Structure formats: structure tokens, C-alpha cells
Amino acid sequence: MANIHITLLGSQTAPVYLGIMAINPDKVILICSEQTHNEAELIYNEIEIECEIKKFDPVDLDKIDAAIVELKEKTEPGDLISINLAG
């Protein structure tokens, strides 16, 4: 069973970083846009947790939906997924 934390990136990295540290997940998925990719890189380089960055056009709902389906297919029964939408 894995603890996976998905978080949206805005211009403020501190709340995202603190949320990751509070949850202490096994894996982090950072969701960013072209405009917030640098912020995602900052967090990626600061945490010592398995992490991946997913960059999306925030209005391309088809690609976002496909990525959600792909993530769902990669999870195992019993995996715990938390999502921080406040980014």
C-alpha cells in the first residue's frame, strides 16, 4: 500500500512544501502549468521523496482527464491518495 500525494502548484511554494512534509507520503505528484514549472522544480529538488512533475495546459481538460485515468490504472487496491487543490 502506497501513500500518494497529488498537489497543484501555484506561485506560493511554502504551503505546498509544508503540506507534503505534514503528510509524509511515499510519492508526490506535482501538477503544474508552464507558468508554475519553476516552482515545481524548486519543490522537486527540496524533497527527499519519490516525486514526479506533470505539466499541463490548465484548460486542456481532455489531457488532464487522460492523466487521471492513467494514474488510476497505476494504483493498487489499498493505496491512499491525498490531493491538495489549494495550490
Give tens-digit pLDDT for 26-64: 999 999 999 999 999 999 999 999 999 999 888 888 988
First CA to last CA distance, the chain: 26
Q: What is the CA radius of gyration of the chain?
A: 12
pTM of the model: 0.87
pLDDT of residue 80: 92
Give the sign of the dihedral formed by CA 79, CA 77, CA 84, CA 38.
positive
pLDDT of residue 59: 84
pLDDT of residue 18: 93
CA distance 52 to 44: 8
